[in-house]
Amino acid sequence: MTYICVIKIKKMVQSKIELFEKHLAETAGLFKALAHPARLRILQFLAETQTCITGDISEELPLSRTTVNQHLKELKDAGLIQGHVDGVRTNYCLNPKKIGELKDSLQEFLNSIDLRNYKCE
Protein backbone atom coordinates (compact mmCIF):
# COMPACT_ATOMS: atom_id res chain seq x y z
CA MET A 1 0.00 0.00 0.00
CA THR A 2 2.79 2.44 0.84
CA TYR A 3 4.52 1.60 -2.43
CA ILE A 4 1.44 2.62 -4.43
CA CYS A 5 1.26 5.94 -2.56
CA VAL A 6 4.90 6.68 -3.32
CA ILE A 7 4.31 6.08 -7.01
CA LYS A 8 1.30 8.41 -7.02
CA ILE A 9 3.24 11.16 -5.24
CA LYS A 10 6.12 10.81 -7.69
CA LYS A 11 3.71 11.11 -10.62
CA MET A 12 2.15 14.23 -9.07
CA VAL A 13 5.58 15.86 -8.66
CA GLN A 14 6.63 14.88 -12.15
CA SER A 15 3.43 16.29 -13.67
CA LYS A 16 4.00 19.60 -11.85
CA ILE A 17 7.42 19.89 -13.50
CA GLU A 18 5.79 19.23 -16.85
CA LEU A 19 3.64 22.36 -16.36
CA PHE A 20 6.68 24.51 -17.09
CA GLU A 21 8.48 25.15 -20.35
CA LYS A 22 10.75 22.30 -21.35
CA HIS A 23 13.76 24.62 -21.43
CA LEU A 24 13.13 25.74 -17.82
CA ALA A 25 12.82 22.13 -16.64
CA GLU A 26 16.09 21.21 -18.38
CA THR A 27 17.85 24.25 -16.92
CA ALA A 28 16.53 23.40 -13.45
CA GLY A 29 17.96 19.90 -13.83
CA LEU A 30 21.39 21.31 -14.57
CA PHE A 31 21.15 23.77 -11.68
CA LYS A 32 20.06 20.95 -9.37
CA ALA A 33 23.22 19.06 -10.26
CA LEU A 34 25.20 22.08 -9.00
CA ALA A 35 23.26 22.32 -5.75
CA HIS A 36 25.91 20.77 -3.51
CA PRO A 37 29.38 22.08 -2.67
CA ALA A 38 30.94 18.66 -3.26
CA ARG A 39 29.65 18.59 -6.84
CA LEU A 40 30.90 22.11 -7.44
CA ARG A 41 34.31 21.10 -6.10
CA ILE A 42 34.39 18.01 -8.32
CA LEU A 43 33.72 20.19 -11.37
CA GLN A 44 36.42 22.64 -10.26
CA PHE A 45 38.88 19.84 -9.68
CA LEU A 46 38.27 18.30 -13.11
CA ALA A 47 38.59 21.75 -14.72
CA GLU A 48 41.83 22.46 -12.86
CA THR A 49 43.43 19.20 -13.95
CA GLN A 50 42.48 19.89 -17.60
CA THR A 51 42.44 16.18 -18.30
CA CYS A 52 40.58 13.01 -17.46
CA ILE A 53 41.22 11.69 -13.96
CA THR A 54 41.84 8.01 -13.48
CA GLY A 55 41.53 6.92 -9.92
CA ASP A 56 39.89 7.98 -6.75
CA ILE A 57 38.56 11.54 -6.73
CA SER A 58 37.52 11.02 -3.10
CA GLU A 59 41.17 11.61 -2.16
CA GLU A 60 40.57 15.25 -3.16
CA LEU A 61 37.46 15.73 -1.01
CA PRO A 62 36.72 15.42 2.71
CA LEU A 63 34.04 12.80 2.01
CA SER A 64 33.85 9.02 1.88
CA ARG A 65 34.34 7.23 -1.42
CA THR A 66 30.68 6.15 -1.38
CA THR A 67 29.48 9.73 -0.95
CA VAL A 68 31.79 11.01 -3.68
CA ASN A 69 30.54 8.27 -6.00
CA GLN A 70 26.95 9.41 -5.39
CA HIS A 71 27.93 12.97 -6.33
CA LEU A 72 29.76 11.73 -9.42
CA LYS A 73 26.62 9.86 -10.43
CA GLU A 74 24.52 13.04 -10.10
CA LEU A 75 26.97 14.96 -12.27
CA LYS A 76 27.14 12.14 -14.80
CA ASP A 77 23.34 11.81 -14.93
CA ALA A 78 23.12 15.55 -15.64
CA GLY A 79 25.67 15.07 -18.42
CA LEU A 80 28.16 17.51 -16.90
CA ILE A 81 30.88 14.87 -16.59
CA GLN A 82 31.77 11.76 -18.49
CA GLY A 83 32.98 8.54 -16.95
CA HIS A 84 34.65 5.80 -18.95
CA VAL A 85 35.52 2.46 -17.41
CA ASP A 86 39.14 1.43 -17.90
CA GLY A 87 39.64 -1.95 -16.27
CA VAL A 88 38.84 -1.59 -12.58
CA ARG A 89 39.08 2.21 -12.69
CA THR A 90 36.89 4.89 -14.17
CA ASN A 91 38.25 7.89 -16.04
CA TYR A 92 36.31 11.05 -15.23
CA CYS A 93 36.39 14.28 -17.20
CA LEU A 94 34.21 17.27 -17.90
CA ASN A 95 31.76 17.11 -20.77
CA PRO A 96 32.76 20.35 -22.56
CA LYS A 97 29.59 20.48 -24.65
CA LYS A 98 27.28 20.19 -21.62
CA ILE A 99 29.39 22.62 -19.56
CA GLY A 100 29.03 25.09 -22.44
CA GLU A 101 25.25 24.55 -22.43
CA LEU A 102 25.21 25.13 -18.68
CA LYS A 103 27.13 28.39 -19.05
CA ASP A 104 24.79 29.54 -21.82
CA SER A 105 21.69 28.55 -19.82
CA LEU A 106 22.89 30.36 -16.73
CA GLN A 107 23.75 33.50 -18.70
CA GLU A 108 20.42 33.40 -20.54
CA PHE A 109 18.53 32.92 -17.28
CA LEU A 110 20.33 35.77 -15.53
CA ASN A 111 19.89 38.04 -18.54
CA SER A 112 16.12 37.38 -18.43
CA ILE A 113 15.96 38.91 -14.94
CA ASP A 114 15.90 42.63 -15.54
CA LEU A 115 16.62 44.56 -12.33
CA ARG A 116 16.98 48.02 -13.86
CA ASN A 117 13.48 49.15 -12.91
CA TYR A 118 12.98 46.73 -10.02
CA LYS A 119 11.47 48.32 -6.94
CA CYS A 120 10.97 46.46 -3.69
CA GLU A 121 11.42 48.24 -0.45
72 touches 81 (CB < 8 A): yes
Handedness of CA 50, 58, 86, 72 (dihedral sign): negative
Task: Examine residue 116 and state whether it is found in any structural domain, yes or no.
Answer: no
Q: What is the pLDDT of residues 2-32, one digit of tens each?
A: 555 445 545 555 667 677 788 888 888 899 9
* 48 found inside a domain: yes
Local structure of residue 120 (DSSP, 8 states):
-
Tally of domains in the chain:
1
Q: Considering the domain boundaries, does residue 69 fall inside one?
A: yes
Contact (Cβ atoms closer than 8 angstroms) between residue 68 and residue 57: yes
How many residues belong to the chain?
A: 121
Q: Quick one: pLDDT at residue 71? A: 94
pTM over 0.85: no
To the nearest whole percent, how much of the chain has pLDDT over 70? 86
Q: Would 120 be classed as within a structural domain?
A: no
118 falls within a domain: no
Question: How far apart (Å, rounded) are the C-alpha atoms in residues 118 and 112?
Answer: 13
Assess if residue 76 is contained within a domain: yes
| Mean predicted lDDT score pLDDT of the chain | 84
Rounded CA-CA distance 118/115 in Å is 5
CA distances from 104 to 13, 22, 30, 59 (A): 27, 16, 11, 31
Residue 119 within any structural domain of the chain: no
The confidence score (pLDDT) of residue 3 equals 54
Has residue 27 been placed in a domain? yes
- Alpha carbon distance 83, 53 (integer Å): 9
CATH assignment at residue 39: 1.10.10.10
The closest of 75, 85, 3, 74 to 46, measured between CA atoms, is 75
Domain containing residue 99: 2-111
